[in-house]
Amino acid sequence: MDTLDNPQAVDPKTVSPWPISMRYGGIAAVVLIILGLVMYLAGLSDPSKSNSAGSWIGNILNFAVMVGAAIIAVRKHRDEELGGYVNFGRAFSVSFLVNLIIAVVSAIWVIAFFSFIAPEMMDAIIEQSKTQMIEQRGMTEEQVEESMSMMGWAFSPVFMSISAGFMMLVMGVIISLIVAAVMKKEAPQAGVM
């Protein structure tokens, strides 16, 4: 990028995407934790009922916060740090870093939540899984107990944390691709009229 021909443009190599990504990723993670706590205290979140209205509301709010944080971070990075221009790659990296921070903080939060705040929810998830095995798969009590003993690791806070973090990261990649495609604004090339 020739900054002499375009004095407003800033060379992206001189500006790190990390500070703005960490700021908005951290803010979004805190907002998501507060939303989760409010939903839990209001009785709206029940992980054992994945198709409940509270679950849908929580998922929509999580998605909105992730998208909003990515858009704000990319816009501020583009307009305030890069002189109004950002290419697709840089927009994707800022958005992805925001969502990576959200995923990591959320994964740590899931461990704390299921271990200390609401361990009874883990029991409810296990009971719901047993009920589904009996009702939907026609398994006997003995088969369910054998299956649960083999899959006990899948019902630990650490595994729930890893799977939640991974799902948020996958969703974050999709969000980042869309945000980068929408928010990119290429700097005009030197000599092009």
List, in order, residues 6 or more apart from 137 with CB less than 8 Å away. none
> Residue 189 pLDDT more than 80?
no
Q: Residue 94 — pLDDT band, cuts 50, 70, 90?
A: very high
Q: Residue 6 — pLDDT band, cuts 50, 70, 90?
A: low
Bridge partners of 86, per DSSP, are 185
Mean pLDDT value across residues 124-136: 83
> Residue 190 pLDDT more than 90?
no
In terms of pLDDT, which residue wins out, 106 or 139? 106
| Paired tokens of 99 | 């969502």
Q: Residue 65 — pLDDT band, cuts 50, 70, 90?
A: very high
Q: Residue 191 — pLDDT band, cuts 50, 70, 90?
A: very low
Average the pLDDT over each of 45-59, 73-87, 140-154 and give the range with the smallest value.
Answer: 45-59
- The average confidence (pLDDT) of the chain is 88
The per-residue pLDDT for 91 is 97
Average the pLDDT over each of 13-27, 35-49, 51-65, 174-188 and give the range with the smallest value.
Answer: 35-49
